[in-house]
Amino acid sequence: MLCHADPVTTTWRHLPAPAREIAETATDAVTAARARDAEAYAPAVERLAAADRAGLVLGGVVRLLLEEGHPDGLDGDDVRQVLEQCVRSAAPWWPDVDPHVLLVLLAGALGVYDPGDDENPPDPAAIARHAPLLVADLLAVTGRPFAEYLTAAFDEVARTELHD
């Protein structure tokens, strides 16, 4: 369940340093993506790519956004629409957008991606450079603050780790 965090006052001081780095850099990257600011986006996603487990957390955010935006589930047409919308939205200001990486992100968030089946799986840095694009695009549909989804994704990762 998502909390109702205020995006302006949300701080991540309560998180351990590695998680705080993910939260801060992901917030910077998603903010830059929403503003279509390539100058701010590039350094933010490079910092995000260096943060261990950022892809896991952002994958959780993508899954939560997809679940909220498609409460009855997604079919192939829905996935294609999400992918096409994200590429169309990002390409004018971020020409390095790679539809294959976005598709891997979507499939991973839906739990249907097996890297062993992919001849050329994207590396974690590519995932980190693309996840904020997808998150920003999906946030436009929900209209809710990124901090809510990020907090819920961190909670989910913590619960999973606790039970493993």
For 16-45, the pLDDT digits (tens) are 888 899 999 999 999 999 999 999 999 999
pLDDT band at 73 (very low <50, low <70, confident <90, very high): confident
Q: What would you measure as the largest C-alpha separation in the chain, in angstroms?
A: 43
Q: Model-level pTM greater than 0.85?
A: yes
Amino acid at 44: A
Cα torsion at 29, 30, 33, 34 (round to 10°)?
A: -150
> Closest Cα to residue 150, out of 29, 41, 36, 32?
29
Measured CA to CA, the distance from residue 161 to residue 155 in angstroms comes to: 10
For 98-138, the pLDDT digits (tens) are 999 999 999 988 888 877 787 888 888 899 899 999 999 99
